[in-house]
Amino acid sequence: MNRLTAIGLASLVAYGLLITTKYTGVVSAARDEKGVSSSTASDDAAMRAVVMSVRGEPQHKTLVAPAPLPRAEQMRASPAAVDFRAARDLKSFVDGINSRRPGLTADERYYLARALEECQFTTTINEDLAAYSAKQRKQFMQSLTVGDTNNTKRIAAYDASDNTQRCMRFQGTKIAQKDIEDLFLAAAQQGDARAQARLLVADLNAKLQANHATDQTSATTTRAPVVADGMSQIIGLLQTRDPEAMMIVGNFLAQSAVANQLHIGPNGEVPEPSAFLGAFSLVACDMTSDCVTLNREPQLACAFSGYCNAQTFEELYQDFLASPYSYATAARYRNIIHTAINTQNWSLIGLSPTAPIATSTSGP
């Protein structure tokens, strides 16, 4: 399946979401998504990769959309977001939303696309998902320490992040990639900042990859611009203060190929990519009362490493995901990002409405 991935948070993701984790193997397997599962559906390693699959990004399309809708205050989870997160059967969730077509809101279209995307791997799996899911859960249960007071939390976190359970009833159905992309595009055209961010970043990543391939085959060093107005669109998305859009944009900007081209803060320093990504995660969480909806790191940390007591994402990031140096650097970048957004001084994070993004140079 030809899909661009960030994270991003997510991806990122992929989703480059957060680094220096104590469960790197689990997260990296999760982020492989359908690229792994579609190749050898009956293979146990491929199945393991889709068990904890995390969202990616659709194939890029040219986006013609209105300005993204602004967030006037700290974002709270919408009814569709709450239902999507709580659903143990995403087929029922999808059927419920589909029953109200065509008059869906942008938010409903976005979460309908998310649900279909999350369960698309079931269409490539020949092995019985119910049997496999039960086998994997049994193995997980056997890995727990008898008498550990965190076991109840760890089991709940495992169940919440196991997509084979949420997507069980999709096996044997058809989920077309075009349908998912059309839903994201429709949500974007209705002004959904998250959908706009996904489509923009997918497009920019495709151009980055194309330019990188050109650089690798070119006899001369090049620094090809990706898109002349990419910065303006990214700035517009950051202005919405939408947490998920910010995470998607942050995943893009924190890629080494992009971060190495930026100069941030009053001294114009080149940001350290992983700390820059952490900073965007922290800023996004500052802008929502329900940060856990942005990513699955809390669930993965609890299920697979027994770190279940963090009350906030920042606590999880500081105490578990990042080294002390990375956290300190991310906290400093966080202040820079907040200042840039609050003062509209986008040069503080290396952005200019007229400046193109460039690829990394090839050669010395």
For residues 24, 273, 6, 336, the Cα torsion angle rounded to the nearest 10 degrees is 120
Sequence letter at residue 364:
P
Cite the DSSP H helix spans in the chain: 24-31, 34-37, 44-51, 79-86, 90-98, 106-119, 129-143, 151-161, 163-166, 177-189, 193-217, 230-239, 243-253, 256-259, 273-286, 297-305, 313-316, 324-343
The 10 Å Cβ neighbour count of residue 79 is 11
pLDDT in the model for residue 67:
54
pLDDT in the model for residue 326:
96
pTM of the model: 0.75
Find out whether 104 and 178 touch, Cβ atoms under 8 Å: no
pLDDT in the model for residue 26:
32
Q: Does the structure show a pLDDT above 90 at 304?
A: yes
Q: How far is CA 132 from CA 64, 199, 214, 251, in A?
A: 42, 34, 43, 32
- How sure is the predictor about 220, in pLDDT bands with cuts at 50, 70 and 90? very low
pLDDT in the model for residue 195:
97
Report helix, strand or coil for 270: coil
Query: Do you know the residue count of the chain?
Result: 364
Integer Cα distance of 202 and 3 in angstroms: 9
Find out whether 177 and 58 touch, Cβ atoms under 8 Å: yes
| Mean pLDDT of the region 241-270 | 94
The answer for residues whose C-beta is within 8 angstroms of residue 326's C-beta and 6 or more apart is 19, 20, 272, 274, 275, 278
Which residue matches tokens 């490493």? 305
Q: What are phi and psi of 8, to 5 degrees?
A: -15, -90
Sequence letter at residue 245:
A
Q: What are phi and psi of 225, to 5 degrees?
A: -65, 145
pLDDT in the model for residue 354:
57
The answer for residues whose C-beta is within 8 angstroms of residue 268's C-beta and 6 or more apart is none
Q: Does the structure show a pLDDT above 70 at 128?
A: yes
pLDDT in the model for residue 75:
56
Choice among 19-28, 95-104, 299-308 with the minimum mean pLDDT: 19-28
Residues 131-156 pLDDT 10s: 988 999 999 999 999 999 999 999 99
- Peptide linkage before 10 cis (omega within 30 of 0): yes
- How sure is the predictor about 291, in pLDDT bands with cuts at 50, 70 and 90? confident
Residues 9-66 pLDDT 10s: 333 333 233 333 333 333 333 333 333 333 333 333 333 333 333 333 344 444 444 5
- How sure is the predictor about 266, in pLDDT bands with cuts at 50, 70 and 90? very high
Q: What letter does residue 98 receive in the DSSP assignment?
A: H
Joined together, the tokens standing for residue 301 give 């940390």
Q: How far is CA 36 from CA 115, 131, 205, 296, in A?
A: 19, 20, 20, 20
